[in-house]
Amino acid sequence: MAAKILNLGSVQNYLKNVDTAASQLINIWGKYPDTTSDDFFTQHLDCKITVIRSILNKLHFYGIVNYDKIKNENSGWFTFKWHMDYEKLAKLVLINNLDKLDSLKISCKKYEEYQMFTCTNKCKDFEFEVAAHYNFYCPMCNENLNVLDQAKKQSEIKELIANIENENAILSSFIRERNKK
């Protein structure tokens, strides 16, 4: 059930932004019960417990994971029981995706209204005035700046938009399902 949202590209990207190893940790975790101890991670991930704790702390900062601190009455030591908040993760990614959609829609409109220029290396897209300012040479790689295929660029952006909207629908229904319980 939870693994369903972990497969989404936007969820994976979001986790990678939290920490490069966070998605790896959560992908393994997704296959096991929601609540687990530190030992679990050392058994399943080939990295030091200090590294794992640092990733867990970052995820905790975002509210994606939470923990209970349990005191062992005999030894007086504490153990941590970690749990994933999949609903929180879904909400954070959803909000992030809505921001992305806004900027993609603005960018799509820009490609509709203006003729844009780019180099063969596709370093960056420039508006006419900016391209002219550089005498139609890319300021990054020095290749010629040519007119960009607007229709192609727009269809690429529209594809990205459709993909995010599709993932948002999955995230929304996941959040609704969780709230029913």
The site for Zn ion (CB under 5 A) is made up of: 119, 121, 123, 138, 140-141
Q: Which is nearer to Zn ion, 70 or 141 (CB)?
A: 141
Tokens representing residue 74 in the block: 């005999």
Cα 125 from Cα 166, distance rounded (Å): 27
Shortest distance, position 138 Cβ to Zn ion, whole Å = 3
Q: How far is CA 72 from CA 38, 50, 52, 81, 179, in A?
A: 15, 21, 22, 13, 34
Shortest distance, position 126 Cβ to Zn ion, whole Å = 10
Q: Which is nearer to Zn ion, 67 or 128 (CB)?
A: 128
Number of H helices, E strands in the chain: 8, 6
Contacts of 149 (CB under 8 A, 6+ apart): none
Shortest distance, position 112 Cβ to Zn ion, whole Å = 23
Shortest distance, position 132 Cβ to Zn ion, whole Å = 16
Shortest distance, position 142 Cβ to Zn ion, whole Å = 7
Q: Which is nearer to Zn ion, 144 or 166 (CB)?
A: 144
At residue 123, φ and ψ (nearest 5 deg) are -60, -50
Q: Which is nearer to Zn ion, 98 or 141 (CB)?
A: 141
Q: What angle do CA 87, 91, 94 make, to 5 degrees?
A: 135
Q: How far is CA 23 from CA 12, 18, 66, 100, 142, in A?
A: 6, 9, 16, 20, 38
Contact (Cβ atoms closer than 8 angstroms) between residue 146 and residue 119: yes
3-state SS, residue 97: helix
Q: Which is nearer to Zn ion, 141 or 147 (CB)?
A: 141
Shortest distance, position 136 Cβ to Zn ion, whole Å = 11
Q: Which is nearer to Zn ion, 55 or 138 (CB)?
A: 138
